Structure 1
């Protein structure tokens, strides 16, 4: 019996620029995306039919499993691959849901990677890519699960040689519906987004031989266009950003995705661990993780 395992790493939008809104209603984005060491875990055992069980500290957050993105991803790939070998999935859930770090999308992408392996299909097979795109906007980038530039509505993904960056991830446990954030931006179909005064989306990204300081400078020159809107919806996000930014060794604090998870980049893993421990102590109900991005 085939038993395979995959990690579904948390997605972090180091930058997220809104370029406009397309005629099909989707927002046109450009985002530098990296992935954290913290992750959900997914185990697959080949069997006669699909099944899904959820364990872990955040299993209760998954709700109705028939609507889970693991089930959706399996169904979408089965529609594209005749006689797809499927089986039993066990999701060990650690990442917070609806938090701006693509937890469900990462689970869906891990599902597609597992099924591709079990069926001797390349991960970049057009059918796998099509299933990822159909599963959700963040699933194609999570399918790669390594640093890249994401463009369009998530369908265009280009790998980038980002060095490992120590970080702390913090989610204060408040909901920030993605649809509400984009609605608050107020773009109509066909309209372009006007960035803050002096801001630009035209960033010269470093190369593989560039030092981490060059990458940090480039990331700092970007922004998350959803952050100001999300802060208005949930003001506690501003508190999280301030606490991260004031921590010793923090070089940048910013929100990921549409929130409410925020990240701080740190000069060393040790300073990130110290900051995470302090935040956990002061805010025991928050989700806080020291990690690395790559």
Structure 2
């Protein structure tokens, strides 16, 4: 039995360019990963199967469109293996939340089957393969602080990065990525690419998420989440992740984070509130 952790992906910054002729938007994003997410377990089998459980399992599509199964079949084709194995996926990350849940699961599947089939492929090979079916999968294969550019497939790892206590808040609304980018295209903002330098929090303060305004136009409750986080004590950075609707705040310590979590839960008991840590060092050991 092989188990892989599929951590939630968070965009600390996300610059987006105008739609290109290839049908993709160029992006420039600083990405970190939480110490919280999904868990994927693989066991040998004579066929390929997927069983999904957990609190967020109801929104996961099955069949040929499932990103986990697509990733396994792609790896099997590329490596000359038979696509066989039982996959058990425990879903904690909400769907349509801007946390890269599907991409994280697909990336975990690539790592797990790389081990199951004893391929010994390095992570950069798995990342390149995954980028063929999902723009965020390459980043999720690495699951450590990084900068991604292009359409997400160009990865530059960031080695000197501390842990940050943070709070993820999702209002229970699923926001599809396509409509957010379509809204963005009505008035694209193609500012200069963000380059981290100096103090991390200070550098991130001058960055932004270009999808915030279009996402808020589609799901106005995102504004409420951002306001709720900003109203807590001592948030050092408040922002939306990805295309929404999850937002986050970074705090100076876990006590401040936990106090903020309690305050938001009291006012908004129907929201999903996740006290987490943005990991500074990858928890993935390449095999």
1:46, 1:85 within 8 Å by CA — same for their partners in 2? no
1:85, 1:118 within 8 Å by CA — same for their partners in 2? no
Say if 2:283 is the partner of 1:277: no
Q: Please state how far the C-alpha of 1:283 moved relative to its aligned partner.
A: 1.7
Q: Please state how far the C-alpha of 1:123 moved relative to its aligned partner.
A: 4.5
**Among candidates 192, 198, 203, match of residue 195 of structure 2:** 203
**Among candidates 246, 260, 265, match of residue 261 of structure 1:** 246
The whole-number CA distance in structure 2 between the counterparts of 1:39 and 1:170 is 14
1:8, 1:41 within 8 Å by CA — same for their partners in 2? yes
**Number of equivalenced pairs:** 278
Q: Tell me, which stretches of 5 or more residues in structure 1 are unaligned?
A: 207-213
Q: Please state how far the C-alpha of 1:270 moved relative to its aligned partner.
A: 1.2
TM-score for both structures, normalised by structure 2:
0.91
Counterpart of 2:161 in structure 1 is 162
User: Residues 123, 146 of structure 1: CA spacing in aligned structure 2 closer, same or farther, 3 A cutoff?
Assistant: farther
The whole-number CA distance in structure 2 between the counterparts of 1:125 and 1:173 is 33
Residue 95 of structure 1 aligns to a residue whose secondary structure is coil
Counterpart of 1:95 in structure 2 is 93
Q: Deviations over 1:77-98 (max 9, x none)?
A: 1121112463111001111011
Counterpart of 1:230 in structure 2 is 215
Q: Please state how far the C-alpha of 1:280 moved relative to its aligned partner.
A: 2.0
Counterpart of 1:47 in structure 2 is 45
| RMSD of Structure 2 on Structure 1 (CA) | 1.8
Counterpart of 1:115 in structure 2 is 113
Q: Deviations over 1:99-141 (max 9, x none)?
A: 1000011000000000111222344367523430122111110
Counterpart of 1:139 in structure 2 is 137
Say if 2:177 is the partner of 1:178: yes
Detail structure 1 runs of 4+ shifted over 6 Å in the superposition: none
Q: Tell me, which stretches of 5 or more residues in structure 2 are unaligned?
A: 280-287
Say if 2:225 is the partner of 1:240: yes
TM-score for both structures, normalised by structure 1:
0.89
Residue 17 of structure 2 aligns to a residue whose secondary structure is strand
The whole-number CA distance in structure 2 between the counterparts of 1:247 and 1:70 is 37
